[in-house]
Amino acid sequence: MSAVEISVPKYSEKPELFDGKNFKRWQMKLRFYLTTLKVVDAIESDKPDFVIADNPTDKEIEDLANWEHKDYMCRNYILNCLTLDLYDDYYSCKSAKELWNSLEKKYVTEDAGTKKFVVGKFLDFKMNDVRTVVSQVEELQIIIHEIIAKGYKICEGFQVSSIIEKLPPTWKEYKNSLKYKRKEMSLEDLIIRIRIEEDNRMAERKERPDFDTKANLIEGSSGTKKPIGNFTRG
């Protein structure tokens, strides 16, 4: 007599434990996980209303038992995807739906606040002539990557235009020349151009005679400036 094969459902990988960061990404993974476990509808359904009936039918009793089992499983699947500290914070939630909504209410609101903060950093960012332009471009790119990580989509053309627009005041002429280029530049091309331009500017400053040194040469030993050139009195 051949052995009976028991098919075990292949569930998706359990999400990493949620510690309060990157909620939307974790929530999407968890929702898929609950779907494969066939309990996801528990986060969207309330306890059946017929429980208050005096004489529930056998079908109603069965439906209630199924709902309670699914809700119990779903609630505990979610709790077991939380760190111990958060597990203790949310264990008191009575149902899977209440637990799901409580997490969403807290962390979606916090995530939205973080998004606004990062976008604000990008809008307020201004380059100056104190630091190298390349280092400031790198800092701006980090902010852009933070915005993208928060779920916003920023096309490459917008990134290029933003970097050009935020170049410091002493780069005004170069900025204008970049803005009127007919051919669109990639982000990589722009960064290479900026790096070359900055290297050239630094080389020019090293080669340029020091104005203060020249000024000192025309001062006499007594510290009074000598006249430059020949002047005749009228």
190-200 burial, b if ≥16 CB within 10 A, otherwise e? bbebbeebbee
Residue 148 has pLDDT above 90, yes or no: no
- What is the pTM (predicted TM-score) of this model? 0.49
Higher pLDDT, 4 or 129: 129
- Residue 142 in tokens: 């980090």
Least confident interval from 41-50, 109-118, 216-225: 216-225
Q: Are the C-beta atoms of residues 150 and 114 closer than 8 Å to each other?
A: yes
pLDDT at 222: 45
Question: CA 107 → CA 111, 122, 180, distances in Å?
Answer: 6, 23, 44
User: Which band of pLDDT confidence, cut at 50, 70 and 90, is reported for residue 61?
Assistant: confident
| 148-160 mean pLDDT | 86
Residue 53 has pLDDT above 60, yes or no: no
pLDDT band at 152 (very low <50, low <70, confident <90, very high): confident
Q: Say if residue 76's pLDDT is above 90.
A: yes
Residue 28 has pLDDT above 70, yes or no: yes
Lowest mean pLDDT among 74-83, 93-102, 109-118, 172-181: 109-118
pLDDT for position 100: 96
Interatomic CA distance for residues 120 and 141, integer angstroms: 14
What pLDDT sits at residue 221? 44
Answer for the pair 193, 178: CB distance below 8 angstroms, yes or no.
yes
Of 48 and 34, more confident: 34
Give the confidence band of 12 by pLDDT, cuts at 50, 70, 90: low
Band of pLDDT at residue 50, cut at 50, 70 and 90? low
Mean pLDDT of all residues belonging to the chain: 82
Which of 162-173 are b and which e, b meaning 16 or more Cβ less than 10 Å from the residue's Cβ? ebbebbeeebee
Tens-place pLDDT, residues 100-135: 999 998 888 777 777 788 888 899 999 999 999 999
Predicted pLDDT of residue 60: 84
Residue 210 has pLDDT above 60, yes or no: no
- Domains of the chain, residue spans: 23-110, 125-208
**Which pLDDT score, from 0 to 100, does residue 23 have?**
87
| Coil vs helix vs strand at 91 | coil
Q: Is the pLDDT of residue 225 over 50?
A: no
